[in-house]
Structure 1
Amino acid sequence: MNTGQYLKRINALLEKPSFNSLATLQKLHLQNVPFENLDVIRNVPIYLNFETIYKKIVEENRGGYCYELNGLFHSLLTDLGYTAHLISATVLRPNGEWAKADTHAAILVYLDKPYLVDVGFGATTPRRPIPLHGMTKTDVGETYKIVQQTETTFDLIREADGVNRTLYRFSNVKKELVDFHEGCVFNQVSKDSTFTHTDIVAIATETGRITLQDHTLTKVVNGVTEKTELSPEEKEFTLKNIFSLSLKKV
């Protein structure tokens, strides 16, 4: 992997491992590399192949979903000298149902303590590393904390409008990218997958987030939400000019 090229892709500088450097890398990744499932919707196969993922995200200026984004970001972190490994998580959907077990990929990074790092959870991805032991973190009006459930399992919880909602339950057991093969296939082909029904694109900004789901564009700026319905032409313009994506590439 060309580390310099990857850092340029996310507008980051080469710095020694530290909490502040890690937080900056996570923030810049979320602001420059969108979460997107455009390949899934267009039946373009996604393989857990590092070279293919690197080419897509870094060289072709694309985004991806969790296996691609967190898989590649984990490699960047280890190349930069961080002690980190992939972990699996089970998503709790907004309707209260658990998704297929262990089909979300995230990262644990070990500094003075272990931190959850995630750059691939769409519109509710935490913006900064979250410590595993109960400390609440707030950034741009979004509040997260982690609650330990067993010796090896933890819940990521997001607070919004005074309500706590569990986003996913994860294990601290080390995983390799290949361990997510079944989940990667499931999330590309199953009708029970969140990603096989409509386009989903999300990116963070300095003041909030921008999300596109099908033809609905949602902008959150300083806690204020605005939704707009887009025509096909407006959607293509938005993909290119807001998310730096082009349907011609997918």
Structure 2
Amino acid sequence: MEIEKILKRIGIDDEPSSLKPSYENLKRLQEAYILSVPYENLDFIFKKEFSVNILKIYEKIVCNNRGGICYESNTLFVYLLKQLGYDAKMIFAKVMDLTYIGADYPHLALLATIGDKEYLVDVANGQNVRVPLALDEDTIVESENVQYQIKPCANGEYALMFNHKTKGWQIRYQFCTKGKTVSDFETVFKDEDNYKQFSNHAPLLVTKALRDGRITLTDDMITYKKQNDKKVWGISLENRAEVLRDYFNIQV
């Protein structure tokens, strides 16, 4: 695997040596990945088993220009960070909305340490915060017209909060800081009965961040958001491949 090719995939042509650990570089890398690699669960639709093997993920996302679910994109991204010299690790999170991922599948996110601060980093959770968030700061940031912040929980865990326009502050997901390895989730889809049951009912989701919005494909609909404008139109099953090619640069 070539680090330069991963960087090129996310639109960065700089030499790896120029991306040494710093908050600004981490922020740039996270944003670049989110703007370049969609979250997509097409393999559920294809009835194809997901792999957490880094070589297969590299081939899928970097060589074949696909996107991925959290186990794929965050595995690739933490590999990139470590190769660039970052102190980074995988963590598990409990997502409140289980529409696109079953209850049996914990969300995979990342923590990166720079100096004496730990930052939540997540490049594979659909519409989400786009910048690293320090765990020990009460910082509020805005992404796609939604405010986010991290709050400590009574049980020693943390919650990524978002400010719902009518319900106020809600939990996006809750997480602990214990590091995980690939061995902790490599069998997450090996339960054939659970996998088949979920994949047979999981709705299609392909979503990619834009600098000023987001484009999302679901089973039979495209949603295009740009600043405060929103357009929605239906598509047919026969047009899915064309839509994936034209809007997400994914060839299937």
TM-score by length of 2: 0.88
* Counterpart for residue 31 of structure 2: 27
SS of aligned partner of 2:20: coil
CA distance in 2, matches of 1:171, 1:216: 35
Partner amino acid for 2:69?
Answer: Y
Does 2:144 align with 1:166? no
In the alignment, the residues of structure 2 paired with residue 178 and residue 169 of structure 1 have an alpha-carbon distance, to the nearest angstrom, of: 21
| 1:235 Cα deviation from its structure 2 partner | 2.8
Residue identity opposite 2:68 in structure 1: G
Per the alignment, residue 62 of structure 2 pairs with 58
Shift of 1:132: 1.1
Judged with a 3 Å threshold, the aligned counterparts in structure 2 of structure 1 residues 32 and 144 are, in CA distance, closer, same or farther, namely: same
CA shift digits 1:189-215 (9 cap, x unpaired): 15357x852221010001011111111
**Mapped partners of 2:104, 2:146: distance in 1:** 26
2:105 and 2:175 map into 1 onto residues whose CA distance is 8
Q: Distance in 2 between matches of 1:186 and 1:196?
A: 16
Tell whether 2:244 aligns with 1:228.
no
From 139, 161, 186, give the equivalent of 1:157.
161
Structure 1 residue aligned with 2:2: 2
Per mean C-alpha deviation after superposition, the further-off stretch among 78-87 and 125-134 is 125-134
Q: Deviations over 1:84-121 (max 9, x none)?
A: 100001111279xx963661100001114111000111
Q: Give the Cα separation in 2 of the matches to 1:35 and 1:100.
A: 18
Letter in 2 for 1:6: I
User: In structure 2, what residue type is equivalent to 1:227?
Assistant: V
**CA distance, structure 1, for counterparts of residue 88 and residue 98 of structure 2:** 29
Greater Cα shift, 52-61 or 174-183: 174-183
Is 1:189 the counterpart of 2:195 in the alignment? yes
Q: Which runs of 5+ in 1 are unaligned?
A: none
Query: Residues 1-250 of structure 1: matches in 2 within 5 Å?
Result: 1-12=1-12, 13=14, 14=16, 15-93=19-97, 100=103, 103-112=106-115, 113-122=117-126, 124-133=127-136, 134-150=138-154, 152-161=156-165, 163-185=168-190, 189-192=195-198, 196-247=201-252
- Distance in 2, Cα, partners of 1:125 & 1:184: 24
Residue identity (%): 32
The structural deviation recorded for 1:141 is 2.3
Quick one: distance in 2 between partners of 1:19 and 1:216? Answer: 37
Residue type at the aligned position of 1:139: S
SS class of match (1:62): coil
- Aligned in 2, Cα 1:174/1:66: closer, same or farther, shift over 3 Å? same
Name the CA shift for 1:196/1:55 in 2 (closer, same or farther; >3 Å). Answer: farther
Number of residues of Structure 1 aligned to a counterpart in Structure 2: 243
**What do you get for the CA RMSD once the two structures are aligned?**
2.3
Q: Deviations over 1:105-146 (max 9, x none)?
A: 000011141110001112x22211111133111234232111
Aligned CA distance change for structure 1 residues 102 and 172 (closer, same or farther; 3 Å): farther
SS at match of 1:191: helix
> Does the 8 Å contact 1:41/1:196 carry over to 2?
no
Q: Residue 123 of structure 2: SS of its match in structure 1?
A: coil
- Are the counterparts in 2 of residues 67 and 184 from structure 1 also a CA contact under 8 Å? no
Q: Normalising by structure 1, report the TM-score.
A: 0.89
Checking the alignment, whether the CA contact within 8 Å between 1:157 and 1:166 is kept in structure 2 is yes
Q: Matches of 2:98 and 2:60 in 1, distance apart?
A: 30
